[in-house]
Structures are given as C-alpha cells and as structure tokens.
Chain A
Amino acid sequence: MNGTQRRGTRLTDTSLRFTFDGREYCGQVGDTAASALLASGVRAMGRSVKYRRLRGVLAAGPEEPNALFTVGTSPAVIPNVYAPQLELRDGMVLKSQNRWPSLKYDVASLLQVGSGFFGAGFYYKTFIWPSWHRWEATIRALAGLGEAPGTCELPPPAVEHFSCDVLVAGAGAAGLAAARAAARAGARVVLCEREPVCGGELEFEFATIEGRPALAWVDATLVELASLGVRVLTDTTLVGGTGGEYVAHHEPGGVPGANSVYKIRPVAFVIAMGAVERPIAFINNDLPGVMLLGAAERFLARYGVMVGSNLVLFANHDRVYAAATRLASAGMRVCAVVDIRDSGALGAEATAQRATLAQGGTECLLGYAVISAAGGSHVRRAIVAPLASPSATRVIACDVVLVSGGWGPSAHAGLQEGGTTRYEEGLAAFVAMDQPEGRENAGAANGLLELPRVLIDGAGAGTRGARRAGADGDPGATPIASGDPAPRLVPFWRSPADRAGEKRQFIDYQNDVNVADLRATLEEGFVDIEHVKRYTALGFGTDQGRIGGLLGAAILAELRGEPLKDVGTSRLRPPYHSVTMSSLAGLRVGARLRPMRRTPLHDWHLANGGVLEPMDLWMRTRYYRQNGPAVFEAGIAEAQRVRTSGGIVDGSTLGKIEVAGPNAAVFLDSLYLNKASTIKVGRSKYMVNLREDGMVLDDGIVLRLADDRFIATTSSGHGGHMLSHFEHYRDTEWSGRGVTVTDVTESWGVIVVAGPQSRTVLHSVLGAAWQPVLDTLTHMAFARGAFGGQDLTVLRASFSGELAFELHCRPSITVALWEALIAAGFKPYGLEALDILRVEKGYLVSSELNGETTPFDLCMDGLVKLGNPCVGRDLLDRPAFHESDRPRLVGVRALDGKAIFYGGAQLTTAEQPNRPCGYVTSSVYSPTLGEWVGLALVSRKQPEGAVLDCRDPVRIGDCRVRLTSMVHYDPTGERMKS
C-alpha cells in the first residue's frame, strides 16, 4: 500500500508479501504483523471476546490484548500469536480472531445489543433455564480465543541447563548498565531480553549517554559485552522461576517454532525488566486507533510506521511533551496534547517543549481530559472537556488517540514466589520489596524512570551481583547521561462519565471488563481485589493484567472510596507471558514421553512377530503374531503348545536383588513371612513379603548362592518398589549390620524353558557338560555353570505347572541362548499364554497381590503359622484381618462349563443380588480344560462348591459360576515335578 520503503532500526530494504484475512499485503523484512498492517492502513485487527467490539492494536509488546492472530492454514494453525511480536516471513498466512464470518461483519457483535445481560459474572446468573446444556453449544462456539490446531508440527524445544554468576533480565538502560558493570568486574554474565533488539526505551527516548546518542551507546555496550564474554539472549523472556532457578523462554520471530528453554542458576539475579505503560479509561477507549503513547513511539522508531496523520495525545505527566515533539518531527500532525494537570505541575523542560509545540500549531490543553473517542469502526474524533466542567465538550478531528496514564514496574520476576510491594507515590504504582539475598530489581522495574538514576541503579545492582559471585574487578564508572525529564505524574485513572458511559470505559480489553462491571461487582459484595479479579475476569487472559491490572485496582479504590495502596493488586504468577505448550512439554513428547526399558531380547521379539505392550516401564511381548489372528487365539495356541511339548518365554524383567554379607540370611528372614535362613545352598524357596501394615506386598523365589549370598526375585511389576522396600528397611528399621543390597535385574537375562520336552531340549542346547546336572536337578534346586563363556544359572522352578527351568544368563549371551533353544525346536510364548498357564495352576500375580489382601485372604495361613518375626507381623492379629466375611482366594468356573466371565466381574448371591460378596480377579480361557477358568476373592462365608451369580452388565452380561479349588489343572503338581 505504501510505495516507498520505510526506515526503522529493525527494518531491511527487502520486501515481503503476506496475507491477512485473505487479503494480500506488503511489508519489509524486519516488520512485525502489527507494524506492516499499520503501515498499510489497517486499523481493525480483531474483536473482543465478549462483546465482539472491533479492536485495533494497543501496545507494542506482549502486553498487547487485542491483536492476536492465528498463523497458518487449518489444521496446522498456531493461534493467539501477539501481532506486535510476530516477525513476518514471506508468504505468511494470518487471520484475525473472534469474529464470524468476517472481521468487518461479525454476527455476534449484535450481542452488544443485549450487553446488559452480559455484565461481569453473567454466566453465574444466566443460561440456566431450561437447562444449561441447551445453550452450551452456542456459547462454546462464541467463547474462547482463536482456533485450536488440528495438527501440531512444532518440534520440541532445545533445552539448556546452566549456571552463571550474574543473570540480568532486560537489556534496556538498567540492564545494559548492570551487565556491563558485572562483566567488567569479572563475573560470568548472562543477559536476556524479550525483544529482538536491545535498548528498551532508549530506542526512542531523547537521550545521550557518555557523550553519545543513546542507540550508539547501546551498540557500543553490546560490542563491549561480547568482548567480555557475556552471553546475550534476545527474543528470550524470563518467564518465571523459583528457589534460585529461573526459566527463560526463547521464541525467535515471536511465533512458536524453533523455541529454546533455558534453566538458569545464577549466583545473583538482576531484574531490569522495565515498566509497562498503562492507559487512562475514557468512553470508547477501545476503538481501533486508540493506542498507548509508547507504542506509537516504538512503531515509529523501530519500524518507521506513522500510526496516524492527525494525533491527539492524552496523558498525566511531563513526558507527553517529549513524545509529541518526537512524533511531530517525524511528520505526523499533533492536533492536540490533552494534559489533565494544571500548569504549575509542569517542569521546565516540559514547559519549553509545550511552548514549541503550541507554536507549531498543536493545541496544548491543561486541566482537560479526553471524555470519549468516536468514529464508528475507528477513531475519527476525540471529544475533550475541562475537568472543571466536563459537560463543556469540544470535538477535535483526529485519526489516532495516544494515551498514557503512567507506568507500572514489571516486578513479576521478584513477586512470583510471593513477597511484598510498596506503593510509590511519585509513580502511582507498586514496587517490589523484600527480595531474598542475591536478587534485586533495577531501573524502571525498581520504580525509577529518569535515565541517570536508572543507569546508577543498574550499575550498582550489577556490581553487587558480581561481588556476590566473588568477582572483585573494577566495574568501571557509572555512565553520565541525560534523558527524558522526570514524569511529575499526577495519578489519573479515568475521565468523567455517567453510568451509561461507564459501560464503555474499558479497563481490561481482553475480557471486556469496564468500569460499570467494577461498580456492579462491588454492589454484589465482592470487595477484595482477588475476588473482583475472579468475578470480572480482570487480569485474566494473555496480558495477565499488565494493561488493566493496576488501572482496575485504582478504579476499584476510587469506587470503594479508599486509597490505592490499601487495595493493592492481585498476586502475580508465572509465566510472565504466554508460553507455548510445546515448550512446557520440553523433550517429553511422543515416543519420548516416558522411557522404555528393553530386555536383551527386545529386538528379537520385534523381528519375529512379537506384539509388545508396556508394563511399568518395560516392554513385554503379549503374543506372537504368527500364532493366531489376534491375542485371544494366539495366547491359546501358545499355551497349548507349552502343555503339549513346550516353549520359551522372556522373563528378563523379573526383579532380582542380590543380598550379601554375614547377616544376609537374618536380614532376609525379617523381610519375608517365611524364613530364608533355612534354605540350603543350591536351593531356592517360594517366599512372601508383607507390607508393614500386614498386607501381602509381593512374592518371589529366593535362591541361596552361598551362606552369605542370596538372590531374591520379585515380580516384574514390583521390581523398583521391592528394591526400595529392601533399601529402606536396611537403612532405617534394620538395626543390624553386615548386609548389602544390590539390584541385579539387568545383570541377568532370564529365559524360562517350560513343557514336557524342556529337559530334552536343554540337553541338546547346553551340551554334555550340563546333562548330569539337568537329570538330577530337583524341583526348586539350581546349578551354576557357564554357557558361551559366560555365567549361567539353571533353576528348576515352574510358574506354568509344567516341568520347567529358569535360565539366568548374562545379557551378552541371552540372544544366543534363546536362538539356540529356538533352533532346538522350542517356540516362544508371550504374556497372554503365561497368564493362561498360571491361572490354570492358581498362581498369583498383581491382580491378587493388589495390596488389599492379607496372607489369610490368600490362603497362606501355613506360612503365617511358622511364626517368623518379620515386617508386617505386628499387625497381622488385628480384628479387621479376621472378620468372618473377609475375602478368600478361590477358583471359579462356569456352572454350565461353557459361559464366559472376565476379571472384574462381581459375584453375588440370590439372597443379596445387589451387594457383591466377591469379585473375579483373573480369568482365562483354558484350552487344556476347554472352558473359562478363573480366580476370585470371595467372602469366607461362601464355601467351595457354592454357586454364585457372576455379574458383568457392562461387558458381557451375567452367568452362573461355582467356586472351586484354586488349582484347576494337575492339582498334585505331578507334571512339574517329573
């Protein structure tokens, strides 16, 4: 739209094209979406959330409440990107938000007609009849901000943890002075700045520092910082932090993409994050064309954008005259400067500037206020009046109203962990106090606005930080400087208005909170600022109260008739401004969401048809694809094969803990219900652990390798837990010495060889040396030797009820051993088959060892009677454990021998059909028995043989079952003892 190139500190001469709401525009490389659109004469950039009022850009920073764009095309969109921060790239596609069907003609803006219904807290009082759900769909369509992405193609951020001596947040005058002083003193300094360029307000302020124009000083300082090894991070915002670790978020180009997250531990932290300008409320202060004064200055200096041709400035401090002078010299016509103060309030410099402006044709009004802005879709007129008689209004034709009510220190980084503030009269704002050792605010963040004082403050903070880190060098002299005059601010928060007008005096633009809302909220009894915030939504949204927070608190104070310092502001919380979710997720995305533990045979399973599923952090094979069309059929086929000839299963996830030392046996005795000390060397025993409250914790086999050395196995799912249990007991409760506990789970691959042919197959695989051992190995005994030059233990134990051997071998030969067994004719089976085999035999897994079962419930009375004093024994006698309707573990089968039942089904009697007396813990289809069998925990009052109803209304319906012995198959155990 403009043919000539603009000049600005950030712009290059290269053009680019982009699309906004379907229309193509031109810009220059370096432009942001806001600057390019303003330069093209676009005023309307969005609509507000509630009333759908047309809005333009207000601020030149991430405090911008209105101009939030969606970048990209559906479904790969990124919503809610701040337009003033969004750096354009050629071909970018942008859309405004909160409007349908278009920005210009929005159907929902008709809601303004009903605006009386939509005051603060309307959703607590409306849309109740006939039922909220009738309205829900409509409200959902209207609510919210932006379009949710349908796909996400954002890469995970780069994450970096590091330490430094001095962290300086903010590279304006104070921050640069602090970083320079600290670096000169010899400290390791990191400087982060949220904008793409350093300098802060030095970008446009009338300032000279050390004899140079401000921007030249900034450049020279940056060169010096680089030579001193300072790490300068631009486009990087300090978003939060606690306990000495601070998080900085780098988002280059102002749009999520190649983000970085820095986690920084400094010895000293200087908060130089400046101050945020606030508006003054007047009627229609949200019209496109009403902007913050500093924003117009920044758009001009950095992007060469003239925000309008006929400006009206409205402020309550001296700096408005400096700003007017700068804007006028760029070619914009300053029609009027409206100052609410009296002539006595102005300082000498401001008085002189005012006189010059008046000579140039600017109307300089004192004791006046802008009562309202008008113009339909954007500002066309400002209506002004003297404060002494607000009804004596006058119209000034203009296309922009630039407003400044003062500044509020950006004290977030110092207040997010709580802390106090003090009210600074000269600023009419709150400044953070009581910072812990090693953290301080500097510059505007510390309530100082005049450049000389800002530089002294910054240099002092930087020096103190360096000293704290032990850097003793000379920080150099504080720079001599002169800048814009002291503001001499008189607090002024809103122009006079009647009740009807108060409805259009906006405080929080993003949530459409106006003065009338505050008044209504007070009338409804919400007095405290925190309540007001939540009832009106003041301070919610992406600007987090940076524009409207203090303004709202001040107007609330006025309405309450109290001083502002007694009202305070609401608590500040991280993040300092919006952080994209992918940055918060960090590296834990997709496959990296949680770690995956693999057994030595993992790749073999994947390559040979294994279907793996997660169990805790491990991946275990459920079944092998070649054995059936799905898990049900494959499991049955695999289980059948084990019973008829045999198979192998990967048991490497079995937890194994090596306990050694002169007191190893005694130590283990005190951890298990039965005794380890009675196990002979070369043999193993099935052992049960109790929790300290008497519940059964886990079971496993304990092998005795030597008098003073054992290996305790635990169930796979409980491995880490049992290790901690052993460790904790040893290091806290156990009063003895001479025991060590070591996790050897990953030190041994475990292959279970099970089935009638297992011995024969092992003969051929392990060779002649092992034959005599295999032939004479009795049940629960083990032998140690070697295979392939590595340690091998062969334990004869069975979890399937067949003749079985557990091979414990080093991971380096596990695959070779497995493949040898395959070559010898055995095929692998998975967890599904394992489950079938163990349920047929009544063996327990976590479904039964669920932490809610006592040893009596699990038929371990015999073990309890041994009387071994152990963890948990103390509480075994309590009455609750011996109540007559405690559950007991039993077997369960269908009464008709055909019905299907699942684990979790509830068991009821005919007498009490609605009160279960137990439930099925595990169930499988047994190919050996030709029917479904299971285990259940049922009230002791139900004897073996009892017939119960098995209720499963959600999944499969009901059937009738009878209670049986737990061991469904081979009750004498002959097969495994053969």
Chain B
Amino acid sequence: MMAVTQISGNGIELVERPIGRVLEFVAFHFPPEGAFVVGWPAAPGAVRHDTLGGPGLLHFAPARWLAPSPCAEIAALVAAAEEAAGTCVDVTGKWREFALGGPRAGRVLASAVNVEAVLEGRECAAITMFDCPCILVRVTDGYRIWVRSSFATDFIAAVQSLRLPA
C-alpha cells in the first residue's frame, strides 16, 4: 500500500504510511528482569531508531514494545530478546501508521491533549486522542502516530473536522 494523503491544507498534512509486519514484544515482567540485549530501549517511553533513522522499537507500555515494519536489525534485537525475557506476538493489522506534519501539526494534537506534558521526558507515549487509542512519537518533521486499526477511520474524520482558528 502506498502512502495515502488523508488531509492536506490549512497547515496540516496527515499522511497514512504503508505498514508491513508489526510485532509487539512483551516481557514477562515489568520492570524487565535480567540483562536485556544491548541497545534495547529499556526506559519508559524510550524509542530505538532503525537504520533509516525512523522510530523502530517503541517502549510504549510497561514491558511492551512495538516494532512496526522492523528492519533486519530490529528484528534481530527482538528475536534475541524473546529467547530470555518474553514473547513476541505478530500483531500485523492491529495498528495503522500516520505521519502528521505541517506548521500546525502541534495545534492539531493540542485539540486532544497537552502534547508537551504527555511527551515530557520521553520519546513515545501511549495516549487516547479523539477517543482513539494511539501511540505518539515526535519526529524531526512532525509526529508519527500509530492508531488502532478499528479506530483509524474515526481518527482521520476527527482531525478533518477540527476547527483551528488562525
């Protein structure tokens, strides 16, 4: 699936990005026990970037990491972790990925949450926005948002219907 622009205009760009296999790695215990593999994003809200520089492994909930479209490196990290400390679940189809950009991207999110407070001290946050469960990551050119699939259409409609005064 190609990247599909959902909303463009008024300083907002919401683009749905293609997403392939998606894994959730779940550790047996929180805080994770034993030594995790080197380079594992262990802190709450930590994000490990993949070889392309985008968010590759997200610690978005206690003992739960999201690996969207994992590159080889991230897949290897997850496989190594599974041996010792938890299980890997293939959740392909559960999350849809969006890129929110444009000068008013922050204002879009501010309609739902206090972005500054939510992302304080972390790179990713599990948050409900416009009644849709999401994972939010700030990236250089805006935000990356993973939305639970069954809510995705509603999420797009909510952003579309926002009235953002100049």
Contacts and interface: CB of A to CB of B under 8 A. Distances in A.
Given A587-B158, A744-B94, A746-B94, A161 B165 contact: no
Contact of B110 (A162, A592, A595): A162
A263 B162 CA distance: 16
A560 B89 CA distance: 74
B89 to A, nearest CB: 5
Nearest to B106: A162
Contacts of B116: 162-163
A265 B117 contact: yes
Interface in A693-750: 708-709, 737-749
Contacts of B93: 600, 746-749, 810-812
A156 B130 CA distance: 14
Contacts of A155: 163
Nearest to B116: A163
Contacts of B89: 658, 660, 740, 742, 744
Contacts of B151: 595, 597
B69 interface: no
B10 interface: no
Nearest to A739: B28
B67 interface: no
Interface in B131-166: 131-132, 148-151, 153-154, 157-158, 161-165
Q: Which of A594, A658, A746 has the most CB of B within 10 A?
A: A746
A652 to B, nearest CB: 8
Interface in A584-602: 587, 591-592, 594-600, 602
A743 B64 CA distance: 12
Contacts of A739: 28
A618 B148 CA distance: 13
Contacts of A13: none
Given A161-B112, A162-B110, A265-B114, A742 B91 contact: yes
A748 B116 CA distance: 35
A791 interface: yes
A159 interface: yes
A853 interface: no
Chain A interface size band reads 35 or more
Q: Which of A161, A592, A658 has the most CB of B within 10 A?
A: A161
A916 to B, nearest CB: 40
Contacts of B94: 743-747
A577 B83 CA distance: 61
A278 to B, nearest CB: 36
A683 to B, nearest CB: 21
Contacts of A746: 93-94, 148-150
Interface string A234-275: 000000000000000000000000101001010000000000
B51 interface: no
Contacts of A743: 94
B114 A263 contact: yes
Interface string A918-958: 00000000000000000000000000000000000000000
Q: Which of A163, A591, A661, A742 has the most CB of B within 10 A?
A: A742
A129 B86 CA distance: 76
B158 A592 contact: yes
Contacts of A162: 110, 114, 116
B78 interface: no
A709 B27 CA distance: 15
Contacts of A260: 165
Given A160-B107, A812-B93, A661 B28 contact: yes
Contact of B90 (A587, A595, A737, A747): A747
A737 B28 contact: yes
B86 A161 contact: no
Contacts of A263: 114
A591 B111 contact: no
B91 A738 contact: no
B77 to A, nearest CB: 17
Contacts of A658: 89
A258 B131 CA distance: 23
A643 to B, nearest CB: 31
Interface residues of B, number: 39
Contacts, number: 113
Q: Which of B107, B149, B150, B157 has the most CB of A within 10 A?
A: B150
Interface in B85-114: 86-87, 89-94, 107, 110-114
A158 interface: yes
Contacts of B27: 740
Nearest to B93: A811
B92 A747 contact: yes
B150 A740 contact: no
B26 A740 contact: yes
Contacts of B149: 600, 746, 811
A604 to B, nearest CB: 13
A789 B126 CA distance: 31
Contacts of A159: 111-112
Q: Which of B28, B113, B130, B157 has the most CB of A within 10 A?
A: B28
A624 to B, nearest CB: 21
A742 B150 CA distance: 16
Contacts of A738: 28
Contacts of A661: 28, 86-87
Interface in A792-823: 810-812
A748 B157 CA distance: 24
A453 to B, nearest CB: 36
Contacts of A592: 130, 157-158, 161
Nearest to B109: A161
Nearest to B132: A595
A257 to B, nearest CB: 11
A596 B150 CA distance: 8
A742 B24 contact: yes
Interface in A139-182: 155-163
A743 B133 CA distance: 13
Interface string B52-96: 000000000000000000000000000000000011011111100
B28 A158 contact: no
A260 B164 CA distance: 9
A750 B39 CA distance: 38
B29 interface: yes
Given A160-B111, A747-B91, A742 B154 contact: no
A460 to B, nearest CB: 27
B123 to A, nearest CB: 18
Contact of B165 (A258, A600, A811, A812): A258
Contact of B91 (A158, A595, A744): A744
Contacts of A742: 24, 26, 89, 91
Contacts of B87: 660-661, 708-709, 740
A811 to B, nearest CB: 4
B162 A158 contact: yes
Interface in A437-458: none
B85 to A, nearest CB: 10
Nearest to A262: B110
B154 A596 contact: yes
B150 A618 contact: yes
A30 B91 CA distance: 59
B28 A156 contact: no
A258 B150 CA distance: 32
A328 B117 CA distance: 54
Contacts of B112: 159, 161
A781 B30 CA distance: 35
A404 to B, nearest CB: 38
20 contacts: A157-B163, A162-B116, A592-B157, A592-B158, A597-B154, A600-B149, A618-B150, A658-B89, A660-B87, A709-B87, A742-B24, A742-B91, A744-B91, A744-B94, A745-B150, A747-B93, A749-B93, A791-B90, A791-B92, A811-B149
The 7 residue pairs across chains A and B that have the minimum distance between CB atoms:
A740-B26, A811-B93, A597-B150, A595-B131, A660-B87, A161-B114, A747-B94
Given A158-B162, A594-B131, A748-B93, 9 more contacts: A158-B164, A159-B111, A160-B110, A595-B132, A618-B150, A740-B26, A743-B94, A747-B90, A812-B1
